[in-house]
Amino acid sequence: MAEHDAATRQNRPRLSLHVPEPLFRPGDKVDFTHLVIPHAGLQPRPDESCHPRETFALCTDLVRVLDDDHQAQGPWNPRLAPDQLRRILREMALIRAFDSRMYRLQRQGKTSFYLKCSGEEATSIAATHALDFEDMIFPSYRQQGCLIARGYPLVDMINQIFSNRADKLKGRQLPILYSAKSVNFFTISGNLATQLPQATGFAMASASRGDSKIAVGWVGEGSTAEGDFHSALLFAAVYNAPVIFNIVNNQWAISSFSGFAGAERATFAARAIGYGIAGLRVDGNDVLAVYAAQRWAADRARANAGPTLIEYFTFRAEGHSTSDDPTAYRSAQEGVEWPLGDPIARLRDHLIAIGEWSIAQHESMDGELDEQVKTATREAEKNGILGHGLHQPDRTMFEDVFEDQPWHLKEQAAQAVHERRVKYPDGDTA
């Protein structure tokens, strides 16, 4: 019998393990013709209160508004006023100028780390404009545009990046892991996808209290492979939570391409189908489409019609962070050849096409914004930069855990201050 089983196994075909491989590696010629980019304006727009199944076809389509002639087309056109479009354009240009300046400061040794959102500005700024100010934002680490869109001061952002004595987070977070209760911006966590169960929990609590606030979470496509992503969607589906899940599919999670998170099998928006919730797949570099999709999902949540999963199809134009060199794992031509273009350039060209903007105005704005960022940087540098000694007082490391500080922490705080005074008699030990 054993001999028969062995012979049978020998005749069976050998199994093989599939390991996803990106289409292009460094030095390869880039060809994105395999991507299906539908014409703008052809995608139907269901009613916000529709049954989730009416959105399932849109999970594999691509909602687009701006066409090749820079005109707005179709039922998803949000028909925003030119003044609002100019404001969104200005904020996207501001965050790009901010990113560029912070990147240079990291290279100068003034901070330890930075992470840009180049090419993805619309997915945070346009989306935030579609929300109410009271809606709670649960971001990942590339949503600095949400802070900009809600008017959070640049100086406070830079103080946090420097972890200096004016840092509102008291140096307890890595650079760019912001937290801003004043603009309903939840604390960023370095542990990816944790913000999604938190967003679902906030939404469930809001619904339980009969409140009007919804929750909105952002996550990269790579982080959808985390268990927290699926836990969040399950609870949101079961309890019909008023929450929006924004997946920013920028094609790369550090050096791993989206195939390792499942992109070879289906779109990320298609995961909504499995959970029975509404889903949309959207051109993430089309400001009007991003705004329209986010507003649709927000109106749906507020109407008690349930959660929505949105995949913003975009591209990370630069490295993952200041610690990353993308030329080591992907073709340098990918960003240049990306067929959906640049969100800032596309909105600029749309405004020009409808007679509401000009190249001269755009260049003047860029210069003005660069000066604005420089001014904010100089102001923040007065509070200290990396390795300067102008940090939070030592005693603060023992604070903000207990409402009433227990005796042993008081003793430890006093000891820490004493030891620092001995070691640095001329230093600031307040």
Residues noted as catalytic:
316, 320, 329
Task: Read off φ and ψ for residue 125, nearest 5 degrees.
Answer: -75, -50
SS3 readout for the chain: CHHHHHHHHHHCCCCCCCCCCCCCCCCCCCCCCCCCCCCCCCCCCCCCCCCHHHHHHHHCCCECCECCCCCECCCCCCCCCHHHHHHHHHHHHHHHHHHHHHHHHHHCCCCCCCCCCCCCHHHHHHHHHCCCCCCEEECCCCCHHHHHHCCCCHHHHHHHHHCCCCCCCCCCCCCCCCCEHHHCECCCCCCCCCHHHHHHHHHHHHHHHCCCCCEEEEEEHHHHHCHHHHHHHHHHHHCCCCEEEEEEECCEECCEEHHHHCCCCCCCCCHHHHHCCEEEEEECCCHHHHHHHHHHHHHHHHCCCCCEEEEEECCCCCCCCCCCCHHHCCCCCHHHHCCCCCHHHHHHHHHHHCCCCCHHHHHHHHHHHHHHHHHHHHHHHCCCCCCCCCCCCHHHHHCCCCCCCCHHHHHHHHHHHHHHHHHCCCCCCC
- Residues facing 34 on adjacent strands: none
- Residue 184 CA to residue 271 CA, distance in Å, equals 28
